[in-house]
Structure 1
C-alpha cells in the first residue's frame, strides 16, 4: 500500500493566487467499518538522533494499560548518535517492536514507511521525544469508537530538565508562546482543526493518501486538513495527555521555529484561506519590529528627526510591554533568572517563526541562492 502523495511546489516569488483556497474539491469518504470493542493497535514512531529519549518513549508505549494487541514500528533515520543501536536492542528484547529504515530522514517519510509496515486497524503516532500517560491509548481508542472520528488527539504538556528547557516548555504551554491550537491547553472535547500526534483509523489514513513527504514541518496540520476535507472528523480530547520534551537550547529553538515558520508559509501558499489568520501574526510582528528598529537607527545617526518619527517606535515598545505582561502571567517561574529565560524563549519563538514565515512566503521552502531546502536540523 502506498501512502506517498505528490503536489506541485510553488516557484520562487510566485505568490499569485496566495489567497486562493486550493484543492477545495470535497468528496464523500468511504464509510468506516465497525471496529471491535478492543481493536489491535499499531504505534508508529520516526526516530532520528533521539538517544536521550527513545528508550523511555518506547517504554511508555509498552506500559500502556490498553488490553488489546499492540505493535510498535520504529522508522529509523540515519542517526548520528546511538539511536539505531538502542532501537535494535529494544526490538531484540521485545517481539512487539519492529524496525524499518527511513533513509530520507524526514518525519513524513518515516511516518509513511512505518504505516506501510504496520498491520493493525488503529494507528497511534508517537514521537521519540514524547511520553504517553498510561491510559492514553485506552482513552483515545474509546473516544475514537464513541464519536466515530478518523483521528483523536490530546494535550501536549511540555516539560524541561534544565533552566533553558523549562523556559522553552513554559513558552509551549502558554497561549503567549504558541497559542491558538486546542492541544496547547486543556479546553473541552470536540471537533478540532488539527490534533497533536493522533490516534487514527487506518482506513481514513489510506483514503487521503497518508502524509505528504514534501511538507517537512506542519505535516500534522496538512494531513488533518485533508481528513476534514474528505468529510472525516478530527476530535480533540483533553483527557489524553502527552509529555513533550522540547529543544534544550535557544539556538536549537531558533532553528526549529525558523523551519516551522517557513513551512507554515508553504502551506499558506498552497491552501490559502484554509489557514487560520493567527498564523500571519508572527510575520507581521517581524515586519513591524524591523521598521521600528530601522527608524530608531536612522534617528540615532541623524538621518531622521526625533519629533513625529519617534512614533515609529510604537511596535517595538508595544511588543516589549506585551512580553513583560506575558512573563508576569506565566506560572512556574522562580526568580528573575527564570523570568529572563522565559522572555528570551518567547521572543525567539515569535521572531524566528515570523522570519521563517516571511522567507517561506517569498521563496517557499525550497532552494534559495544555491542552498538546499529549509530543514529543521536542531536535533541533528
Structure 2
C-alpha cells in the first residue's frame, strides 16, 4: 500500500489595504489562483478607504470564505500587517502588497525554499510593470542603476543569504519571537524586521525564482508623495541604526546636496562676477546631462512618451527620496510623518 504524502503546511496571506480600488481585485485574485495545494487563508487589514476599496473586499469575502477582513485600527502598514498576522492561523506567513500580483507558482516555490534552506524569511524580485507611458517610465526607474540603484530585489542575482527581502514569506514562530513588525516605523519596516531576524541568528534568503509583478503609482503626485515618505523613513532608520544601513542609501541625499549647492554657488558666482564660483554649475549641469542620456535610453526601450516622462520621473525620485532622507535623518519630520507614513 502506497504511503500517504505528508500534508502540506498551511499558509496565511496578510495584506494591509487602504484606497487601492485600482489594484485590490488583481492582487487578491493572484492569491486564490496559486498552484500551492496546501490550505490557505487571506487576511486583509482594512484602513478607512474612501475610494470604494472596502466595498469590493466585502463582496470578495462574501463569495469566498477563505478571504477575511479585519479593521486596521492604527491605519499604518506595520499596524495592518501585525493585526493580520495576529488574526491568522497558519505556520507560514506570506506578506502581500495591494500593488503586487503574485505569479501562480509563488507560494509553492517560497514554501519549498523555506523548507530547503531553513531560512526565516524568503523573498525574490519586485518586477515593476507599468501600463501607461508614465507608469512604464516609473517601472524602468525601479529596475535601473540610475533609478533605484539596480539592487538585487529589483534586477535579480544569485540565490543566497541577503540583507533584506521584498515582501517576504516568513516562519510564523520566528516572526513572533522577534516581536513582529515595529509599528513605530511606518516605512522601511521590512528592512528593520529583517535586521532583527539576522541579529538573532536567523537567515533572510533571496531567490530569483520568486518574481512578483508590482504596479507603480499612477500619477506624479502619488509618486512624489511615495518617495518623499520613503526617504523620510530611510533617513530615520539611518539615524537610528547608522552603519547597519547600506552606504547606497546615502547616495541620493549627498547628490541632492551637491546639486543644490552647485546651483546656488553658481548663481552667486554669476551675480558677483566671481568666475571661479561659476564652476559650481558643473554639478547641476552634469546631473542634467545624466538625466537626458538616461531618458534617451529609456525612450529606446519603453517608447518615446515614456522617455519624455523619464525626464520628470527620474529627478522626482532622486530629489523626493534624497530630500526626505535629509529631513528624516535630521529629525525634522515629527509633524508630517503621520501624513506620509503609509
Report the TM-score, using the length of structure 1 for normalisation.
Answer: 0.85
1:137-162, CA deviations, whole angstroms, 9 ceiling, x for partnerless residues?
Answer: 00011111101000000101111121
| Aligned residue pairs, count | 336
Match of 2:303 among 322, 334, 338: 334
Say whether the 8 Å CA contact 2:229–2:337 is kept in structure 1. Answer: no
Select which of 216, 223, 246 maps to 1:253: 223
**Which sits farther off after the overlay, 279-288 or 317-326?**
317-326
Deviations 1:250-288 (A, max 9, x none): 121111101111100110111111011111111111111
Are positions 1:218 and 2:183 aligned together?
no
Aligned residue for 2:259, secondary structure, equals helix
Output one character per residue of 1:199-233: Cα deviation in whole Å (capped at 9) or x when no partner. 00001100110001111111111111111111110
Can you give the 5+ residue segments of structure 2 that lack an aligned partner in the other structure? 1-5
Taking the aligned partners of 2:43 and 2:205, their CA distance within structure 1 comes to: 24
Specify the alignment match of 1:322 in structure 2. 290
Q: Quick check: 1:266–1:365 contact (8 Å CA) kept in 2?
A: no
Evaluate the alpha carbon distance shift between residue 296 and residue 37 of structure 1 in structure 2; reply closer, same or farther with a 3 A threshold.
Answer: farther
Alpha-carbon offset, residue 75 of structure 1: 0.3
1:303 aligns with 2:268: no
Aligned equivalents of 1:211, 1:245: Cα separation in 2: 24
Give the SS at the match of 1:358. Answer: helix
Aligned to 1:360: 328
Compared CA separation, residues 86 and 182, structure 1 to 2 (3 A): same
| In 1: Cα distance, 2:288 partner to 2:226 partner | 23
2:170 matched to which residue of 1? 200
1:186 to 153, 156, 167: 156
User: 1:154 corresponds to which residue?
Assistant: 124
Find the aligned partners of 2:297 and 2:241 in 1 and give their Cα distance.
Answer: 35
**Separation in 2, partners of 1:230, 1:374:** 33
Deviation at 1:328, TM superposition (A): 4.2
Higher relative CO (Cα under 8 Å, sequence separation at least 6) belongs to 1
Task: Provide Cα deviations, 1:162-208, integer angstroms capped at 9, x if missing partner.
Answer: 11111111111212111153110121111111100010000110011
Q: Which runs of 5+ in 1 are unaligned?
A: 1-35
The ranges of structure 1 where at least 4 consecutive aligned residues each deviate by more than 4 angstroms after the TM superposition are 328-331
TM-score norm. by structure 2 comes to 0.94
What's the C-alpha RMSD, in Å, of the aligned pairs?
Answer: 1.6
Are the aligned partners of 2:20 and 2:53 in contact in 1 as well (CA < 8 Å)? yes
Deviations 1:303-326 (A, max 9, x none): 342x21122112112212322343
Note the 1:1-380 alignment, pairs <5 A. 38-179=8-149, 181-300=151-270, 302-305=271-274, 307-330=275-298, 332-335=301-304, 337-363=305-331, 365-367=333-335, 373=338, 375-376=340-341
**Which structure dedicates a bigger proportion of its chain to helix?**
2
After superposition, give the CA deviation of every residue in 1:73-122 in whole Å (9 maximum; x if it has no partner): 00000101111111111111111111110022110000000000000000
Task: Tell me the secondary structure at the aligned position of residue 15 of structure 2.
Answer: strand
